[in-house]
Amino acid sequence: MTVLVFRTVSLFAQDDSLKNLTFSAYAELYYSYDFAKPANHEKPDFIYNHKRHNEINANLILLKTNYSGANVRANLGLMAGNYSRYNLSSEPEWARHLYEANIGIKLSRGQNLWLDAGILPSHIGFESAISADCWNLTRSILAENSPYYETGIKLGYSTKKGNLNLTFLVLNGWQRIKKLNLVQKPSLGIQINYKPSEKLLLNYSNFTGTDIQNNFNALRTFHNLYMQFEVSKKVGMIAGFDIGRDKYNSTDYGIWYSPALIMRYSANERVKLAIRGEYYNDKNRIIIATNNLYGLRVSGLSGNFDYQINKKLQFRIEGKVYHAGERDFSNNSAENYSLTTNMTIKL
């Protein structure tokens, strides 16, 4: 570790660091109306973004700085809003406003081989916390209940053409900044990201580890696959599938899984339309706790309209309906309807 620190300091000193330093900002304000009218103004338990009902709120306010040199890189992001409040509620207070904090060192002069360490964006999934970067305003259930962030060490390799990216990770756990007490084993992750053409992107990511305290034989295995395909200049498609399994001691607690499909139509540079269909099945209540004995089985359909006001400012509106196998919503109903609008700005 001492050698790594001195190596990093040396690399920074050799570069003209100021010209490689950039700053950016992102903010998202939203209003969402849940027709179930939850008394505590909170949407269902499996939702962590755009969580508040019937009030104007901030989902994510992010300030970020980035350093990018020939042999070293670093990122620091500080945040506030619903995303940090609900997604990082189990983290210590000092960590709840850290979007990312990492540093990386290039390991080879001739190859694009990097070692990064710290708080990193998740290697899992096709949706992030930044709504403006996603095809839909809100996140899928699939994304909401898999890691948005992770802490650990990442070894990454990219080909010179950039069409193949390989990543191996040693992590603190399943969406963890601080490792849980009594958990001694590391968690591992792999990502293979391949772009055979300009129109097609294929991705496989996995997680193997544990997030259960005081159980040395607990094991979670999780697989995430997705494909992004540009059908034409105006039509795009994302198809994703998650599946995971938990085992404690000799007990197999079963699997959970979720398919999702998104279609997007770009009418012009300013106007985009998207529709998402999804299904989430966690009948054994491994990831999502429910009051019924049959677990969570929810299908969802959402459609959104996007208008790019200018290069920095975007307005979106989305309607969404969920249908559950049981009466899983706050109005004791098997169905849930919501309407959400937001305004995002990137600087």
SS3 content of the chain, % helix, strand, coil (to 5): 10, 55, 35
Please tell me the predicted confidence (pLDDT) of residue 2.
Answer: 41
Q: Which one-letter DSSP state was computed for residue 52?
A: B
Residues 295-315: tens digit of each pLDDT: 889 999 999 999 999 999 999
Structure tokens at 36: 């179930």
Residue ranges in the chain whose pLDDT is less than 50: 1-12
What Cα–Cα distance (Å) separates residue 297 from each residue in 25, 175, 277, 289, 290?
37, 23, 14, 12, 10
Distances (CA, A) of 123 to 99, 116, 133: 15, 13, 16
Domains and CATH numbers, the chain: 2-346 (2.40.160.10)
Give the model confidence (pLDDT) of 156-210 as tens digits.
999 999 899 999 999 999 999 998 887 778 899 999 999 999 999 999 999 999 8
This prediction's pTM: 0.88
Alpha-carbon gap, residue 277 to 259, rounded angstroms? 9
Conformational region of residue 37, where left means phi above 0, alpha means psi within -120 to 50, and beta covers everything else:
left
Pick from 98, 82, 105: nearest CA to 1: 105
Query: Residue 41 region, left (φ>0) first, then alpha (ψ -120 to 50), else beta?
Result: left
Alpha carbon of residue 289 to chain centroid: 20
> Phi and psi of 62, rounded to 5°?
-130, 130
